[in-house]
Structure 1
Amino acid sequence: VAYRSMPCPVRVRGPERLGRDGACVQYAEEVMRHDEPGSKVAELTTCQAAASGPGNCKTAMCNVWIGGKDYCSQCAETAELLIDGTCVTSTTELAKKCTTNSQGACTQCGDGYFLHKGGCYQFGGEVGKLICTDPSTPSNTITAGACTACASGYFKNPAAAANKPPCIACNDETGDGTNKGKAGCATCEAPSSSGAATCRTCLDGYYNSGSESSVTCAECNAACATCSGDGANKCTSCKEADKYLKTDSSAGTSQCVNEAACKQGGTHFPTTTTDGRKICTLCSDAANGGVADCQECTPKTAASLAETPSVTCSACTQNKKPNADGTKCVECTTEGCANCDTANVCTKCDDSKIVKTADGATSCIDESACNNGFFVKESGGSKTCEACDSTCKTCSGAAAQCTSCNPDKPYLKKTENSQTGTCVDAAGCTNGSKYYADDADPKTCKTCAEGTFEGCETCEKSTDGAVACKTCGPQKKIRPDKKGCIDACPPDVSTEKGGVCECVEGYAPTADGSSCASSSANRSALSTGAIAGISVAVITVVGGLVGSDRDAGTHIPSIADREPQ
């Protein structure tokens, strides 16, 4: 299996493993699968592997990973020398720098160079300085293997020699055979004399299963790229690109889940942080696109993900409710309220109840309870209970569409072809003389035609409550009783004066008011009792007169005297 090394500060993606060369080691095939163009994969052309051929690395031996690039550990042609990780043709000068084992690798280096994984690397060279930080000298006078400071992720080998690597990776369990690193170790301290290094921190993909003073690195669960402990619920980042890290702080767990599992239950949503991490975070995580104090939410569509927040909140923590568009949680103690746009101002109720607004306060009520000065208002498919206009006692459909009135303006003046209208006083009722104030309960403004008969356009009400017609429509006359209009005044018994039919002398309006009848005819209609009463009164008066005349010596003829003989 091919593996490669690199300085530990460079984060390794893919499953790390213990290697024999370099600080951060992982399977080559895993790097190929997980890395992206432009990163490590794009730079793998540093090392060309083949079974033979000049300049080629031996098959499967491009396994030294330094500074983000692949380097060779054994040449395909045994006569070539491995200098700075590359196979080159041997020359007299180069042969001084690399003592070969005739198998395409170096076993010892000359001055100005040091041994590392089968090759000799120049002190201060472009590749060498990534392992040993010592600078180069003009004539390569640094003693072979005499490195004074190793790069991060390596420790200084106590056994410095031309045939020993001066720097050993903290995770290199092989080392020089005597001095070695530990599995999964990222940073370490060199052994005092010989043996294994003392590990201080672990590589990505490992966690400390020991103590702070005695670090032991154990491999993370296969689902984790990094972790804080053993098991699939201790991940701190995910290995697979389509997984999201879901953390439960109360339980102290974090695991890698797919998008569907993240959304399940509605308490979390999947997102990508500003530094590129995929997380499954709580709906209340405002820093990453959630809504503060939100308990349940739904991710917005892809088209609106750029908006802030990136979720629509549907439920908030205690005593708070989401606003109408689900972008924030608002203080809301109204019983039965589903949404509040501002503190304690309900905009939508639960179930079938509707919002009632009274004196600036909101409540949730049944639609049937919206009465006594309130009306049900419908708008955009929703209903609310709104207060009637101050002039209305009750209303319907709109605030100013009154159905009954208050005492200060007691008359309901209905809109044409409607059962609702406006509330006015008596003067407002008779404005234009087309209406009159009807005091019958409930008090209303009636048209002249309603109070009299059809055809009367204007009218007036007398102090006794009687309504008289004042004008009629075209070609019409006011009938004799002033209660309506007729086509023409009744001939012989009436005359027209200014469009009004008036009965001639001795005549009076008939019972239906449309004509005139003789006053005597009206008298003939008196009851028998009334006539008898009149007769008695006449006799009494006449008798009194007879007595007076007798005393005066005057004779007054009796009724019998006037009877025909």
Structure 2
Amino acid sequence: MKCSSSYVQVEGNDCIACLSGCSRCAFTSSSNQVVCSAGMCLAQYTQLSNSVCSRCPAYCDVCQYSETDATSTCTTDKCTSLYIQKPDKSCTACPGNCLECTYTGTDVKCKDMKCADGFAQNPVDNTCVVCPTGCASCGYETSSSTSPKCLLGGCIESYFQLEATKECKPCPSNCKNCEADSQGNNVKCLDQQCDTEYGLKPADRLCYSCATGCTKCDISSDGTATCRECGESYVLENSECKECPSNCKKCAWSTDKTICTIGECKSGYTQTTDEIKSCLECPNKCTTCMYNPTTSMAECTLCIAGSTVNSADKTCGDCASNCISCTEPGKCDTCKTGYRLNAADKTCEACDPNCDSCASSGAGKCDSGQCHSSYALDATEKTCGACASNCQMCDANGKGNCDSGKCNAGFAYSSSAMDCIACPTNCKECQVKDARKTECNVNKCDVGYGLKDSDKTCLQCPAHCQTCTDVKKDGVMVCDTCSSYYQLNDGQCAACPPNCLECSESNGAMVCSKCQTHHVMMDDKSCKACPSRCEKCSQSAGTISCTECQSSYVMDKVKACKTCSEATFDQCIVCTGADSNGKHECKACSAGYTLKDDKSECLSCSSLQNCNTCKDEPLVCDTCSSGYTANDEKTECGVMCHVCDGPSCDSLSDDNSTLCMVNSGFGCWMEMAVAADGVTTHSRGCSNVTCADPYTEEYCKSASGTTECEQCCTSNNCNARMLTGAATRVLCGGFWVKCHIAIASLITYSVSVLLM
């Protein structure tokens, strides 16, 4: 018997879970205990001298444990993502919607340009503020701005931007990318920018619905939709989407019906052997099953977690309560966290409610180092007791108390009370003066607040001021540093000019020294916006010109930024900038299209069914869709056949040779003939031999004088002409027929069932 990961085998061949926080453990028979193997503690745990994995302080990934004071300390720079380490080694959260922050000694501050997508950094307090509706990238125009505005080119999909106000306005329904005039009127969807299942009507540049099952279509001037690409569970036939058999993801069209492709049933279904290769639902709680043609039933081979296959009827039976996995319904092999396995009856028993593991201590109790955060183990009772309020750990001082240095942010540890006392308002870090009274530490007031000298509380700074000091010790706060977009001038924070990032005082006025992104400095030191879609720009005599376009745009001869489709032709996605004659050259087309040899247009690959990428040589398929392969001429994509090892052979007495059929598991076969002298040959290609009735639309081939005939789907021609190399053949029905034509023209049939 082999135990699964995080379990260990004990006497009696039972598998017992490792202690919480341990990935690999061992069982010590002398002490009858499970111990964690050296170096096998999980992240956010550290290993003690007794091999127990102890949880690190809150929000810490890697820590060290001190045997002297029985506490864990977070390793430098090892706080969990979105947290920052303070000087006392504790981890505190970054401000809301901030991806990366820093601890300045006075506060936790979001790093510049580290707000999450869709948020802008407030210049006053460095907090991250949500962008306006429809905007993915925004910022504050000035230090005095009360709300952010969208940056040029910063609108999300399905919105366009008004150049004058930078507002993001919605595109027409079901359009991903559109354009409008300078006033926001005459809104039109761009080429190939309609949502999936919609097509663009050239007459009004709006998006209209495709037919059912169609994901890409062309809309004519009269509103007629012609499909170019079908979605899952549909196949394209004469510009229409034909629905696959129920619960089939991919299929092929054959004369008057769809046939499910081998191996393309949806999850939770298995394929039958009927004419259309229909998909049969697996039993309840079953994730993987197989079709049994004898019973016409689906038999489960793999059940969901908490269930197991019933060997009698191949259905799924529930494991015992609170069980992760079992091999027998109603029993358990692996229990959930917070439960232990009762080896006698294979059931799961609950630990203490605030405990992860009690494998050694027993039901209702807890093992050493397994209590939840903010709980401590009672060594006598083997149960978990709560720490003091606002405390992260109390392992050393026990339940109801707190350990030194383990109070939450905004609280200080009282050694006499072994408790956590709240800091003054707007203070992040403080110390206990009396048993229940605190004073804020120097430089530990929140942003925009300063320390009052007399009572060590935090007072608000002057407007737009980040840090301030009680200089005269009279409670009047004097500004030291201003917020972003402001500059200290005569003890006050003066606003920089509009769209200015950095400024300084000159002759009593604030003069800009650096403009914000997507802006350029004019001769009068003011900041003006760059043209639409422009990343960088310059100005000369008051005229602004683009010098660099934003990503996905190219510059034309008049310095305007355009998409490649706008600069060249429809479906072009990569192109050069304008040459000396103002012309652009297309370099690549969008998926499903190929660049014509003369680079004059993007040709659609849709005329080549099941083709993913194509070339104009003339038009040939370069890469077929998944599950398909191209013929030698690359003009068609057929169902891909596979080969495998381990042939099963039967003797043919008529020519003393052996014909081997190798099942690939994908409904295809490789054929080879082994002669009496040991020479092996493979049948290739197809000779146009007509087989006897009632078999029609057959493709026949010979191997060592033996003619092979089979009935195949007209859409799956890979055995006829689609493949080269070792011959393969597609089996399209539930049966394949092998015709042995002997020298005496005696025809015999052997019929075998193909299990899909």
Q: Under TM normalisation by the shorter chain, which class is it?
A: under 0.3
**Greater relative CO, 1 or 2 (CA 8 Å, sep 6+):** 2
- TM normalised by structure 1 equals 0.27
Determine which structure has the larger helix proportion and give its number: 1
Structure number with greater Rg is: 1
